[in-house]
Chain A
Amino acid sequence: MHSVPSVRTYVTIWAILTVMTFATYYIAQIDLGQWNIVIALLIAFFKMSLVIFFFMNLKAESPLTKLFAAGGFFWMILLLGQFFVDYMSRTWMPGGKMW
């Protein structure tokens, strides 16, 4: 039904993931201010993509499955984004002056 990836692919992905884990651990020890969390999350997203596309073999799945996988993340961003429509703008109006 699907092509079967080789062991070498899996081990390579694993190696990258492990290296990334240690990278994120050590980068966190350096004070980069706001960038610490940004880099940590970028690495996390990268690791997630590797797991999804290779371990979960999404790259060989049908477009429909890809759509659903993407939908999940889209909805989570929707949730977070709309929380922040409120929380980000709460401090915008000292004294309640609008327009």
Chain B
Amino acid sequence: MNFPLFPEAASSMARQVDYLYAYLTVVTVVMTGLIFAVVFFFAIKYRRKHDDEVPKPIHGSLVLEITWSIIPFIVMLSFFWWGAQIFFANATPPSNAMDIYVVGKQWMWKIQYPGGQREINELHVPVNRPVKITLASEDVIHSFFIPAFRIKHDVVPGRYDTMWFTATKPGRYHIFCAEYCGTEHSGMIGWVTVMPENDYENWLASGGNEGTMADQGGRLFEQLGCSTCHELDRQGRCPNLRGVYGSRVQFTDGSTRDADDAYIRESILNPNARVVQGYKADVMPTYQGQLSEEQLLQLVVYIKSLAITGAPGVPTAAAPAASAGSRQ
């Protein structure tokens, strides 16, 4: 019967994590082996020969104490340094990563592609192309875990989290929910399928008849009446959203921040938390509780699309396949 010691390594990061893990394991084995050996050796060599022997006391040695404090600490600092490198690489998606949106919900993963395709518990990604996953939760904390890629991130309700990877090997790998989330926690599992580029284009082309995510978001934008104010209105009650995404926004209290996914989300759900300079509070109603996380993401993608080309829906007007790849 065979079982592996390492899970399959199918992302650009996986081997690096494995090397660090191997380094840690070697240090652990050496240290443990050393302690075991010394304890065993002492126990045998200095075993009690007769019942009333009393060995000479030894009080200690400052040199030894300092040695066995400093050396382990230096070794541990190397763990820290190496680990931090990987951690930050993990946290910094390349700018050309393609977006995929994942919503965790008791007990399933809902996956949306910019091209409008949707899946449950199945994630399809192309090989050798960086993929950035935006994570949202409808209810409790979940954790999106792909062992073969050595990555995991909690999915916390009320905010967006992101993770990224570059799959390097076609195949099917586990998706697990790693943060306990209720009764069917162990059933909140799925598969990620890594496909060669051409297959992936074909796969994308076979789905997504509801239009791209930006299209879907654009429709919502109309239905919810956002457009009457944020697009058509010329009275200056609310900011026009064209070109907002990615820019630096200034607020009434003087603070500024980049308009990113989290900011768009906050503005929809809690419009008065930060009011843009030159506008008034209490003009926009809150949409808390009226939108699912998936719809929110569609709106975010729509508003993002306004920043890219200045026209709704344009970047995804071509074949869905191209859209997924060309997001810059």
Contact = CB atoms under 8 A, between A and B. Distances in A.
A91 B260 CA distance: 12
B30 interface: no
A63 interface: no
Interface of A: 91, 94-99
Contacts of A95: 258, 260
B25 interface: no
Contacts of B209: none
15 contacts: A91-B257, A94-B257, A94-B258, A94-B260, A95-B258, A95-B260, A96-B91, A96-B92, A96-B93, A96-B162, A97-B92, A98-B88, A98-B91, A98-B92, A99-B88
Contacts of A94: 257-258, 260
Interface string B152-165: 00000000001000
Which 6 interchain pairs have the tightest Cβ spacing? A94-B258, A98-B88, A96-B92, A96-B91, A98-B92, A97-B92
B323 to A, nearest CB: 22
Interface residues of B, number: 8
Contacts of B257: 91, 94
A39 B93 CA distance: 44
Contacts of B92: 96-98
A91 B88 CA distance: 16
Interface string B77-112: 000000000001001110000000000000000000
A95 B263 CA distance: 12
A94 B88 CA distance: 14
B19 to A, nearest CB: 21
A40 B23 CA distance: 53
A70 to B, nearest CB: 28
Contacts of B91: 96, 98
B246 to A, nearest CB: 9
Contacts of A96: 91-93, 162
A98 B87 CA distance: 11
Contacts of A91: 257
Nearest to A93: B91
A70 B260 CA distance: 44
B262 to A, nearest CB: 10
A1 B93 CA distance: 67
A96 B93 CA distance: 8
Nearest to A91: B257
Interface string B255-286: 00110100000000000000000000000000
Contacts of B162: 96
Nearest to B162: A96
A4 B18 CA distance: 69
B184 to A, nearest CB: 31
A89 to B, nearest CB: 13
A27 B162 CA distance: 45
A65 B88 CA distance: 45
Nearest to A94: B258
Contacts of B88: 98-99
Nearest to B255: A91
A97 to B, nearest CB: 6
A98 B85 CA distance: 10
A91 B258 CA distance: 10
Interface in B49-94: 88, 91-93
B245 to A, nearest CB: 13
Interface in B152-183: 162
A96 B95 CA distance: 11
Given A96-B91, A96-B92, A96-B93, 12 more contacts: A91-B257, A94-B257, A94-B258, A94-B260, A95-B258, A95-B260, A96-B162, A97-B92, A98-B88, A98-B91, A98-B92, A99-B88
A99 B13 CA distance: 18
A94 B261 CA distance: 11
Contacts of A98: 88, 91-92
Nearest to B258: A94
